[in-house]
Chains A and B, each alone.
Chain A
Amino acid sequence: MSETALVHLENVVLRFGDKTVLDGVELKVFSGDRLVILGQSGGGKSTMLRLILGILKPTSGRVLYRHLEVQKLSRSRLNTLRSRIGMVYQYSALISSMTVRENLALPLEELGHKSRQQIDELIKANLDIVGMSGTEEKLPSELSGGMRKRVSLARALMMQPELILFDEPSAGLDPVMSSVIDELIISLTKNTNTTSVIVTHEMESAFKIATRMDMLYQGKIIQDGSPDQLRVSSNPVVHQFVTGTTEGPITETPPHADTSE
């Protein structure tokens, strides 16, 4: 592919003390991708999302967002960049003391230049998209896990981002809710023309959502390709992960375990 990547992790190494979490990761995300990053729990997948957002800095290597080196941006430019990226957290990370309406309005009130009426209209539109209309005045504690995740997705959409990062979108959800979230991710990226990076180790969701897949193992991307390519991969690690068998090179605990996940 010769087009310029929206996000490029260029030979990224990340160490916490003497623990190497990412060991020379090469990753490109192109506009329109629904890129699923596979890997063991604690293997550094969520860490890659935090690097893209500039929350973590690589020990070496670069994280580029449309030619901008994320870690070298000033605080104000980094905040501007972050406002173009939506993030949906594993446990939703909604502000627990704020209602759904206040949670959704927060990024626009703090960063945007929209009127109260425009913000209200956007809240309504985005709650409609995720099927959560009528929950505006509820607190996050009054919602189920799946509902919180959908509100979190609506919040990520408020700034009309060009890239949405999903950290374990179906973790902890029942199969039906998990499918609802998967469908939402697919329809959203199609309808709003956004790019998505999804971190997961749930294979069914991964194959349903992905247009591209990368496998992270021992701090490196060991395979990049289409879902079909990964499904029939001859790489023993990828094969073991995709089929979910206990026999193979993958050990129970990743040697590069990242405690932040």
Chain B
Amino acid sequence: MPFRLSMLFAQTDRTGVGSIPLVLMVSFFLGLTMALLTGYQLEKFGTERLVPTLISIAFTRELGPLLTGIVLAARIGAAYTAELGTMQVSEEIEAIEAMGIGPLRFLVAPRLVAIACLTPCLSVLSCIAAIIGSALISWALLNIVPDAYFDAVLTSLIISDIVIGLFKAMFFGLLIGLIACYQGLTVTGGAEGVGKATTDSVVISITTVIGFDTLFNIMVTRVTG
């Protein structure tokens, strides 16, 4: 094993398990709001039955990974940068290097593996939470009963959308991890430097995730027509 399993488990726990409540809450309310706003517009044309399709495709392919990426950039990317940055300014990273232990292997690798593996998992939870949120509001305000709602969701979902969404989520996770660890390891200037690097890490991660998402969508649209 190139790195300690205990380090990997610790990172997966804080990255994955620790992020579940926030991802679920944000996704639930966004799904609910999306269903509410689109439902009212579609109702005017008598097509509110399209809400389950719209929400499920939007979340599995686009909003689930994107929302998870943004939440993780803010919650975990910032934590990675602050943690590694503090270790950098207090010479802990140099001490690890001076002992002949590679800081990349010891500190960065478990974090990257954890965030790359856990982002798709969280993205799945995000989609489920959003669909449940939208189902509830559709039932309450658009008169779409849950059975009909979930039937429509299952009919409209296709494997390629799910796979594309999971792939994107994994890549977002990797990007966030790389940016956060790089920002942390290159901190200079004490506490102020750690603060600046942490802000930079979140801003760059979110911008990169959205930029990559746009680029990816353009490419996929071109390829699939």
In the assembled complex, how far is the CB of residue B81 from the closest CB belonging to chain A, in whole angstroms? 15
Provide the residues of chain A in CB contact with B98, threshold 8 Å.
53, 55, 82, 85, 87
Query: Does A143 reach chain B (CB closer than 8 Å)?
Result: no
B95 and A93: CB pair below 8 A? Answer: yes
Contact with A along B4-22 (1 / 0, CB 8 A): 1000000000000000000
B91 and A107: CB pair below 8 A? Answer: no
Docked pose: A110 CA to B110 CA in angstroms: 14
Which of B4, B87, B94 has the most chain A CB atoms inside 10 A of its CB?
A: B94
A89 and B99: CB pair below 8 A? Answer: no
Docked pose: A70 CA to B197 CA in angstroms: 32
In the assembled complex, how far is the CB of residue A245 from the closest CB belonging to chain B, in whole angstroms? 33
B95 and A111: CB pair below 8 A? Answer: no
B101 and A91: CB pair below 8 A? Answer: no
| B83-109 at interface with A (beta carbon < 8 Å) | 86-87, 90-92, 94-102, 106
Give the number of residues in B that approach A within 8 Å (Cβ atoms): 16
A79 and B101: CB pair below 8 A? Answer: yes
| A31-88 at interface with B (beta carbon < 8 Å) | 50, 53, 55, 75, 78-83, 85, 87
Docked pose: A205 CA to B97 CA in angstroms: 28
In the assembled complex, how far is the CB of residue B88 from the closest CB belonging to chain A, in whole angstroms? 11
Docked pose: A91 CA to B92 CA in angstroms: 10
In the assembled complex, how far is the CB of residue A17 from the closest CB belonging to chain B, in whole angstroms? 14
In the assembled complex, how far is the CB of residue A94 from the closest CB belonging to chain B, in whole angstroms? 7
**Main SS class of interface, B:** helix
B90 and A91: CB pair below 8 A? Answer: yes
A93 and B90: CB pair below 8 A? Answer: yes
B91 and A79: CB pair below 8 A? Answer: no
Docked pose: A114 CA to B97 CA in angstroms: 20
Contact with B along A92-112 (1 / 0, CB 8 A): 011110000000001101110
A107 and B101: CB pair below 8 A? Answer: yes
Provide the residues of chain B in CB contact with A109, threshold 8 Å.
4
Provide the residues of chain B in CB contact with A83, threshold 8 Å.
99-100
B97 and A55: CB pair below 8 A? Answer: yes
B95 and A87: CB pair below 8 A? Answer: yes
Docked pose: A81 CA to B99 CA in angstroms: 9
Query: Does A22 reach chain B (CB closer than 8 Å)?
Result: no
Contact of A93 among B4, B92, B101, B102 (CB under 8 A): B92
Docked pose: A78 CA to B100 CA in angstroms: 7
Provide the residues of chain B in CB contact with A50, threshold 8 Å.
94
By a beta-carbon cutoff of 8 Å, the part of chain B in contact with chain A is 4, 86-87, 90-92, 94-102, 106
16 sampled A-B residue pairs with Cβ under 8 A: A82-B99, A87-B95, A89-B91, A89-B95, A91-B90, A93-B92, A93-B94, A93-B95, A95-B96, A96-B86, A96-B87, A96-B90, A107-B99, A109-B4, A110-B99, A110-B101
Closest 9 CB pairs of A and B: A82-B100, A79-B100, A93-B95, A93-B91, A83-B100, A107-B99, A110-B101, A87-B98, A53-B98
